[in-house]
């Protein structure tokens, strides 16, 4: 049976993962309004990944005999000043999520839940990848600056991203 404090922390993180899904869905709409369809595809995959992250914890809480309690998902921003501004927020958001996963592991440590620590290791590794991939897109956008041709080349590259259902835990 899962510890009550651990259960509460997982429930808060389930909400944070679904908020990430919502934020990226909003960014997908923003990039669609710019007709950057490769970016739209990139966010489609990002949304699917965040959904999988939330569901991984959802299933885990139930597997551990805990109770999932869904909360309201906050309204995300609906527009950004530029693609760079959007990706600056993506990078900040992923750094914030990493700090949240670390805090969740602190709770697991505190209540001596080693199974949860092992489970959360997957999320920690995933965050290293997330920070690296979104950081790369931001760095490329900064290099591109206002070169439209280069932006379209990046858009074409991002069109190739595909979703692979993660095996969590
Ligand atoms: Mg996530």
Compute how many other C-beta atoms are within 10 angstroms of the C-beta atom of residue 133: 15
Q: Residue 34's pLDDT is what? A: 98
Please answer whether residues 119 and 10 qualify as being in contact, where contact means their C-beta atoms are separated by less than 8 angstroms.
no
| Distance of CA 129 from the midpoint of ligand 1 (Å) | 11
| Distance of CA 20 from the midpoint of ligand 1 (Å) | 7
Q: Residue 120's pLDDT is what? A: 98
| Distance of CA 146 from the midpoint of ligand 1 (Å) | 30
| Distance of CA 110 from the midpoint of ligand 1 (Å) | 23
- Give the contacts of 36 (CB within 8 A, at least 6 positions apart): 83, 151, 155
Q: Residue 103's pLDDT is what? A: 98
- Give the contacts of 2 (CB within 8 A, at least 6 positions apart): 10, 61, 64, 65, 66, 113, 116
> What pTM was computed for the model?
0.96
Q: Residue 112's pLDDT is what? A: 98
| Distance of CA 47 from the midpoint of ligand 1 (Å) | 9
Please answer whether residues 131 and 101 qualify as being in contact, where contact means their C-beta atoms are separated by less than 8 angstroms.
no
We find that the CATH architecture of domain 4-158 is Up-down Bundle (1.20)
Q: Residue 169's pLDDT is what? A: 86
| Distance of CA 28 from the midpoint of ligand 1 (Å) | 16
Q: Residue 1's pLDDT is what? A: 85
| Distance of CA 148 from the midpoint of ligand 1 (Å) | 31
| Distance of CA 50 from the midpoint of ligand 1 (Å) | 5
| Distance of CA 166 from the midpoint of ligand 1 (Å) | 12
| Distance of CA 21 from the midpoint of ligand 1 (Å) | 8
Compute how many other C-beta atoms are within 10 angstroms of the C-beta atom of residue 58: 17
Name residues of the chain where pLDDT drops below 70: none
Q: How far apart are CA 169 and CA 60, in angstroms?
A: 9
């Amino acid at each position: 049976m899962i510890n009550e404090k651990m259960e509460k922390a997982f429930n808060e993180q389930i909400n944070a993962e679904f908020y990430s899904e919502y934020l990226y869905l909003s960014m997908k709409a923003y990039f669609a309004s710019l007709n950057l369809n490769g970016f739209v595809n990139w966010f489609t995959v990002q949304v699917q990944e965040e959904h999988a992250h939330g569901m991984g914890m959802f299933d885990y809480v139930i597997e551990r005999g805990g109770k999932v309690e869904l909360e309201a998902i906050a309204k995300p921003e609906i527009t950004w000043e530029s693609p760079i501004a959007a990706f600056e927020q993506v990078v900040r958001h992923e750094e914030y999520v990493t700090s949240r996963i670390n805090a969740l592991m602190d709770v697991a440590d505190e209540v001596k839940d080693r199974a949860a620590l092992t489970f959360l290791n997957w999320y920690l590794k995933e965050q290293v990848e997330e920070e690296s991939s979104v950081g790369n897109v931001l760095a490329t956008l900064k290099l591109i600056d206002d070169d439209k041709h280069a932006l379209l080349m990046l858009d074409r590259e991002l069109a190739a991203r595909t979703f692979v259902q993660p095996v969590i835990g």
